[in-house]
Structures are given as structure tokens and as C-alpha cells.
Structure 1
Amino acid sequence: MPEEGIKYLPKSKLLSYEEMLRMVNILAEMGINKVRITGGEPFVRNNLIDFLEKLAEIEGINDLSITTNGVFTGDYIKQMKSIGIRSVNLSLDTLDKNRFYKITRRDEFDKVYETLFRLIDEGFEVKVNAVVMEGKNIEDLIPLAELTRNNNVSVRFIEEMPFNGEGAHYARLEWDMLRILEELNLHFPDLQKLQDGPYSTSYNYQIPGYQGNVGIIAAFSRTFCGTCNRIRVTATGELKTCLYDDGVLNVRDLMRGGVSDEELKSEFMKAFRNRAKDGFEAESNRKNIVKESMTTIGG
């Protein structure tokens, strides 16, 4: 979280639940079958459970999942399970309470840590997302990896991106994928490579004898772009076909301008066909320099 916090927008600038449901219905007709609601903490928004229930009823959507910082999610675990949500990504950059406070600007570590194990106990497919940050949480790499010893959990170490709340604040990334992997191999010399899924953005490994697995997401190096099939829509309706672009289409403005479903499908297809080949091209096509925080993009 940036030290100065983030500027909260008026509700009128955000996509309404009705607009999001219309959008997902259209995308489902176009072949999208998985939807992930991301945070921060999605449950900051009122009546999210009702929205999730309606999403789960959309024909063609067979995979509904959540990315959360875990602050409020624990209150809704039973309801999430009844809706059919099976996968939860939990953002947790450190296992140290003091470092957690410095990184997140909130004193919620105990609640988040408890939610992690409640999700595991309830049988969710849990992935812990940890952004590796020089001078902030390097000492947490091995303790986080150790979470996989006795827990069926995937811990994914994510390269820090150049817009993680502070603007483009480094010319060279100290902890890239290779260095993270080197650190893991140093402590776990028998680390084994796993087969990655067809659209995986992580390179996955297992420590022999451990229940879970670890992964590395090369978010800065951008070596997975050839297999990435994700699209993202921000809370204000900006369609991003890559995290590094600055928005290629505003769905909110189109819908509020009165376009038909067929016209919206046409705009979506135009954006998808013109998708940048990788994150480097997406960044070079930007109209503005990279300065936004991941907290405003949505995890």
C-alpha cells in the first residue's frame, strides 16, 4: 500500500453490479468460462455475496474464484463454499507481524493468517501470493516456502512490478525470477520442476516430501506472456489486455453510452485481436509512463 494511501472514487465512477453482470454475460457468450474477482479485499464492497451468486448462475461460467488480502474474507467462507467458489488467492507478503504492518499499513496479520488456514481446512484450492521486495520481505522467502511442508497450498513468489505503489522506482530488478529460484535452490537443493499448465503464468516447483508446491511469477521479466490468456477489467471499467497497458477500452463508458450487446462484443473482439504480443510491447504502447499502484489496478 502506498504510504499516502489511495484516493477512493465516488460510486458513480465504478462499474455497478448490473453493469458487471451484463459484461460477464456478454463475455461468457464469447467463450470466457472463468471469472476471478480481485482485491485488495473484494468484500469491502457491500452485498458482494449476492453479486457472486448471480455470477455463478451465468451460463458458461464454470470457474469462479477470488483474490483477496484476507481482511474480511474469513466472514464469508461458508457462503463462498455454498456458491461453488473453490479457488482463493490470498495476498500475503510476509509471515512477520511487524513487516506485515509496514507493507500493508494495517494491523491485520492475525486475522489474515487465521483466514489462510481456515480456507485450507475448508478444502479450498489456496494460493498464497507474495511479492518479493528488496529491503522489505526477503527474509520471508524460506518461511513462506515452508508453509508447503504440511499444507496443501501453493506459494507463489511474484517479481515486483515497476508500479507497485511507488512509480518506476528501480532501473534493474534485484530479485528477479532467477535470483528467487537460486535462493530456493540454496535451501532446497532437491527442488523439483513441475509440469506447468497450458496457460500458467507461474513456473512451478515442489520440495520433495512437502504437501504443497511453490511457484515463481516473472511479472517484471515477462517471460510467460506467450501463454497468458488473461484479460482484466478495473473497477472503473478499463479493459486491460495486459497489466502493463494503460487501458485499451472503457467498458463502463460504452455501456453508459447506450451500445448494444452486439456492438460491445465487436469492441471486445477488436481489443483482443490487437492485444500486444507481450508486456514490453504493451508498456511501449502506453500513452503515459507507468505510475499507477497495483492497489488501483486490482491485485
Structure 2
Amino acid sequence: MLKNEEVLRLVKLFADHGIDKVRLTGGEPTIRKDIVQIVEGIASTPGVKDVGITTNGLVLPRFLPDLKNAGLTKVNISIDSLDRQKFAKMTRRDGFDKVWKSIELAQDYFPKVKLNVVVIRNQNENEIVDFVNLTANRNLDIRFIEFMPFGGNEFKNDNFYGYREILSLIVEKFGDDVIRLSDSPNDTTKAYKIEGFQGQFGFISSMSDHFCNTCNRLRITADGNLKVCLHGNSEVSLRDKIRDGSSDEQLSEIIQKAVNNKKARHAGMDALKNLPNRPMILIGG
């Protein structure tokens, strides 16, 4: 695992090259004892404007006040079901109450909170409208994410539920009150809202309608590997280069080479099923 000082060195290096948004994701960032110190270090890095976190929310209340004071600006919480029993079945743990507490607390600290919802056919597609209804009186941003093939997640085509199906179901319920919003530059989400509702919702359509041509994301895994594409299995170990004594200039050359070799688009769904890749929990969203 990357040490605190190694994380901050890489953040500074990327910030020097124009990166101004940093998000801490999976596995689960709150299991690190130094998470508050890491956020504080990132937030104080010249050039960094936003520091976000994606979390399962199980222990977030314990850290949230300190994280906010340290400079955290955005929170994404993963929750695939609003039904306590179904949540336990999908996540293999009885943690719904803890996650919901995190969602409510996060709304006290941040003007907008994003919820990540992976939609899986025959599991939670019947809750799509329930999630949208959460935005009626809450400034939540519900992000419906297409189920994607990764190592160990038992992906099957029959479980796939594309964004057009999700949108159709929402339109069937809300009709002309469904409003298409303008997407931010390089945003991965197709944004919508319901007329008169406080919050909004959107779709991350990595499988059915990829956004590779506008994707500007780079990922560093917890053990220090650079991934230029979420769905690619090509990785470059920056941790090993750091510990071998590489200079910032040498690290920059390695990063630039990896970015230049990024493919124009990722493989299709059927090909990705057979492509060796880390489990999503070891990559982060």
C-alpha cells in the first residue's frame, strides 16, 4: 500500500501537470487510519481545487467532521438498495442503517451528496423510481451505474440493465417532468432531474454508451499502480519507481508514456467478461 508521503508526492506531481480534482475511492478509503491526514495533505496541495471521497458509508460518521475540516469538498456514498434485507443480500452485510445515517449526516456537511447505485436486473431495478423520489426534497444526485464486468463480480449478460431502460422506466413514471440537464465538461454522467424536485439523477453508461472520447480520468490503485482506463488491465507501478529512487521528472515521463498509450476506447461487454482485471473493490470508481 502507498504510504501517506507517497500519496502526497504523486498528488503534487499530478497537480503540477494540471490535475485539479482528486478523489479517494476503493477498496474503502475510510479503513486507512491516516485518511484525515491524507485529505488534509491533498487539500493543501497547490492547484488542487476539489477533494472527494467515494465510500460505502459504514464508518463515515466517525470521520466526517474531521474530513470536512481537513478540506474534503465532495462525498459519494455507494448504496444499491433502499430495502434493508435486499441491501444485506447484495452487500453480504447488515449495514443499511449505518449507510443511511452516513447519507443523512453528509447532507448536513455538504450542499450536494452523490449516491452511487449499480443497477442489476432481477435484483434492484424495481427500486429505480424509489431512488429518484429521494431527490424530491433532498439535494441528492443519484447516479445509476450500469453493471460492469470485473474480476469476481459474477457478471452475466442477463443481469445487465442499460441506461436507456432505466430512463424509459423513469419517463414512464414521471412523463414530461423528466428534464435533461447540461453535462459538465468531461463529466461521465448523463444528468437529469424531475421538474420541481430539489435534487437530480443521472446515468453512468460505460457499457451501452461509452464516453471514452471525453474521459480524462487517471487512477492510482491503493498499491500504487497507474491505470489509464478503468476497464483496461494494463498497469504501471509508480510505487516501485518511487521506492527505487526515481525523480519527479522520471515519474512524469512514465505517466506521460502510459497516457499516450491509452486506447481510443475500451473493449465491449462480451470481451471485457474474459479480460483479466482487478475486482472493482481493488480499483475504485
Q: Distance in 2 between matches of 1:189 and 1:165?
A: 38
- How far apart are residue 164 of structure 1 and its match? 6.6
Which residue of the partner structure matches residue 11 of structure 1? Answer: none
User: Measured at CA, do residues 242 and 222 of structure 1 come closer, stay the same or move farther in structure 2, by a change above 3 Å?
Assistant: farther
Q: How does 1:33-112 map to 2 (within 5 A)?
A: 33-112=20-99
The answer to whether structure 1 residue 170 and structure 2 residue 156 are counterparts is yes
Question: What are the ranges of 5 or more consecutive residues in structure 2 without an aligned counterpart?
Answer: none
1:89-131 C-alpha deviation (Å, 9 max, x unpaired): 1101110111111111111110110110111122342110000
TM-score normalized by the length of structure 1: 0.89
The answer to whether structure 1 residue 161 and structure 2 residue 137 are counterparts is no
Which residue of the partner structure matches residue 207 of structure 2? Answer: 220
- How far apart are residue 68 of structure 1 and its match? 0.6
1:149-197 C-alpha deviation (Å, 9 max, x unpaired): 0001100100000117335x32466411111111111111121100011
User: Measured at CA, do residues 32 and 283 of structure 1 come closer, stay the same or move farther in structure 2, by a change above 3 Å?
Assistant: farther
Which residue of the partner structure matches residue 242 of structure 1? Answer: 229
Q: Name the amino acid aligned to 1:97.
A: R
CA contact (8 A) 1:159 1:219 kept: yes
Picking from 188, 205, 217, the partner of 2:174 is: 188
CA contact (8 A) 1:244 1:283 kept: no
TM-score normalized by the length of structure 2: 0.93
CA contact (8 A) 1:132 1:175 kept: yes
- How far apart are residue 39 of structure 1 and its match? 2.8
CA contact (8 A) 1:150 1:210 kept: yes
Picking from 124, 127, 144, the partner of 1:137 is: 124
Q: Name the amino acid aligned to 1:115.
A: S
Q: How does 1:8-19 map to 2 (within 5 A)?
A: 14-19=1-6
The answer to whether structure 1 residue 252 and structure 2 residue 235 are counterparts is no
User: Measured at CA, do residues 291 and 58 of structure 1 come closer, stay the same or move farther in structure 2, by a change above 3 Å?
Assistant: closer
User: Measured at CA, do residues 84 and 129 of structure 1 come closer, stay the same or move farther in structure 2, by a change above 3 Å?
Assistant: same
Picking from 98, 115, 138, the partner of 1:128 is: 115
Which residue of the partner structure matches residue 295 of structure 1? Answer: 281
Q: Name the amino acid aligned to 1:165.
A: G
CA contact (8 A) 2:120 2:147 kept: yes
Q: Distance in 2 between matches of 1:212 and 1:75?
A: 26
Q: Distance in 1 between matches of 2:235 and 2:161?
A: 30
Percent identity over the alignment? Answer: 39
User: How many residues are treated as equivalent by the alignment?
Assistant: 283
Q: Distance in 1 between matches of 2:2 and 2:50?
A: 21
Identify which range, 53-62 or 158-167, moves more after superposition. 158-167
Q: Distance in 1 between matches of 2:26 and 2:276?
A: 20
Q: Distance in 2 between matches of 1:117 and 1:36?
A: 21
Identify which range, 140-149 or 81-90, moves more after superposition. 81-90
Question: What are the ranges of 5 or more consecutive residues in structure 1 without an aligned counterpart?
Answer: 1-13
Which residue of the partner structure matches residue 113 of structure 1? Answer: 100
CA contact (8 A) 1:88 1:124 kept: no
User: Measured at CA, do residues 283 and 244 of structure 1 come closer, stay the same or move farther in structure 2, by a change above 3 Å?
Assistant: farther
